[in-house]
Amino acid sequence: MTAELVSPLAAWTSRLPSTVSERPFLSQLTVRSSDTAAMGSVLGVAFPSRPCTFTEGSGRFGDVSVLWLGPDEYLVVAEPGLQVPIEEGLRACKGSVVDTSAQRTTLVLEGPHVRDVLAHGCSVDLHPAAAPVGTCVQTLLARTGIILQVTGADTFTLLVRSSFAEYLAAWLCDASVEYGLLGETPVTGRPQGHR
Amino acid sequence: MQLIPCPWCGPREEAEFHYGGQAHVAYPSDPSALSDEEWAQYVFFRDNPSGPFAERWSHSAGCRRWFNAVRDTRTHDLLAVYRVGEPMPEVAS
């Protein structure tokens, strides 16, 4: 029997700031390879050639992002449920492919105050001149390790480890208070009932 | 907070990094031939200069890659960073 999937932030759906939403269960595969051209042609998206960037494209696995994590290390992100076919598709290429979908959940942040909120706990310069669309950095946000993608003019995607997700959600709520982004429900303590 | 320039990711806060001790300490080519004293020298004894010092650092909260840095132990200034395998650059002390 397969257990029902419960996202790490299921209890937080109604409590997150209005500008934050979770995209749970995305397929994520950690790829280590020096033969990225072949992998790119399988996925239909060229792998990033410069550090701290990501690329997007569309192919036989739908919309796929490839995030630079290290000189020979990448994270392939696709829609939920595609980890097995992608892993099998990449198996023909040289390198290692590991399904890490359960390791992280994804948060999408948007709105005019998104840089202000992130600046409360992230030291990376996120000004559009320093971090244009297409930037992908691994850093600390409020002492939590994150992968941060600049996906639009005022849109950011955060990948955070599942076990840190609730802490980060609480921190985001707190950092968003002064911008009036929280709903009427005060955030007091940890939500109960879902875990 | 001090910024450390990762050779891959650029300048990041010191808190993202992990210190790895003196760089360029070569593993003995024939460890079994070493006397106890020579082995202790390899394992435990490190330079402690006042001035430029080549060290290993890891960008543990970022790209998780090891690299080398020349740090002035008097001022904590990072004089140069370079990737593993690259020779130590000349620095003015």
Per residue in A59-85, pLDDT (tens digit) is: 999 999 999 999 999 999 999 999 999
Write out the H or E segment, with its range, that includes residue A170: helix A162-176
Task: Check residue B7 and give its pLDDT.
Answer: 94
Query: To which CATH superfamily is domain A11-25+103-179 assigned?
Result: Probable tRNA modification gtpase trme; domain 1 (3.30.1360.120)
What is the rounded CA–CA span in Å between residue B91 and residue B93? 6
Please tell me the distance from the alpha carbon of residue A131 to that of residue B75, in angstroms, as a whole number. Answer: 31
Asked if residue B55 is part of any domain, the answer here is yes
| Residue B58, domain member (yes or no) | yes
Task: Compute the 3-state secondary structure of chain B and give helix, strand, coil in percent, each to the nearest 5.
Answer: 15, 35, 50
For residue A103, give the nearest of A85, A83, A123, A87 by alpha carbon: A83
Stretch A13-22: mean pLDDT: 90
Q: What is the pLDDT of residues A32-47, one digit of tens each?
A: 998 899 999 999 999 9
The pLDDT of residue B40 is above 90: yes
- Whether pLDDT at A124 is above 80: yes
Contact A126, A51 (CB under 8 A): no
Could you give the 3-state DSSP secondary structure of residue B41?
A: helix
Q: Give contacts of B64 with chain A, Cβ < 8 Å.
A: 70
**Helix, strand, or coil (residue A85):** helix
> Binning pLDDT at 50, 70 and 90, where does residue A191 land?
low
**Residue B39 maps to a domain:** no
Q: Has residue B68 been placed in a domain?
A: yes
Task: Give the CATH fold of the A27-102 domain.
Answer: Alpha-Beta Plaits (3.30.70)
- Per-residue pLDDT of B6-32, as tens digits, reads 999 999 999 999 999 999 999 999 999
Are the CB atoms for A74 and A55 separated by under 8 Å? no
d(CA A45, CA A58): 6
Do the domain assignments include residue B91? no
> B12 vs A124: CB contact, 8 Å cut-off?
yes
Helix (H, G, I), strand (E, B) or coil at A119: helix
Phi/psi at B14 (5° precision): -55, -30
Give B87's DSSP letter. P
Q: Answer yes or no: do A52 and B9 touch at CB < 8 A.
A: yes
Please check whether residue B76 lies inside any domain of the structure: yes
Interface test with B, best of A139, A147, A160, A161 (most B CBs within 10 A): A139
Residue A78 corresponds to which amino acid?
A
Decide if B65 and A70 are in contact by the 8 Å CB cutoff: yes
Residue B3 lies in a domain: no
Nearest-angstrom CA–CA distance, A136 and A156: 10
ipTM over 0.90: no
Q: What is the mean pLDDT of residues B39-52?
A: 95
Residue A180's pLDDT is 84
Chain segment A93-119, per-residue pLDDT in tens: 999 999 999 999 999 999 999 999 999
B92 to chain A, closest Cα gap in Å: 29
What is d(CA B34, CA B26) in angstroms, rounded to the nearest whole number? 14
Residues of B in contact with A51 (CB under 8 A): 8-9, 63
Query: Would you say residue A16 has pLDDT above 80?
Result: yes
- Cα A10 from Cα A24, distance rounded (Å): 9
Shortest Cα distance, chain A CAs vs residue B71, angstroms: 22
Nearest-neighbour CA in chain B from A191: distance (Å): 29
The partner residue sitting opposite A140, judged by closest CB among B9, B16, B65, is B16
Q: What is the pLDDT of residue A188?
A: 60
pLDDT at A181 over 90: no
Residue holding tokens 């109604």? A14
Q: Which two tokens stand for residue B80?
A: 């140069």
DSSP code at position A39:
H
Domain boundaries, chain A: 11-25+103-179, 27-102
Any domain includes B38:
no
Domain, as residue range, for B74: 10-26+49-85
Q: CATH no. for residue B20?
A: 3.30.2270.10
Q: b/e for B18-33, b at 16 or more Cβ within 10 A?
A: eeeeebeeeeeeeeee
- Measure CB to CB from residue B65 to each of A71, A123, A139 and give the nearest one: A71
- In angstroms, the CA B19 to CA A71 distance is 20
Residues in chain A: 195
C-alpha–C-alpha distance, residues B58 and B10, integer Å:
13
Q: What are phi and psi of B79, to 5 degrees?
A: -85, -30
Which residue of B lies nearest to A147 if distances are taken between CA atoms?
B62
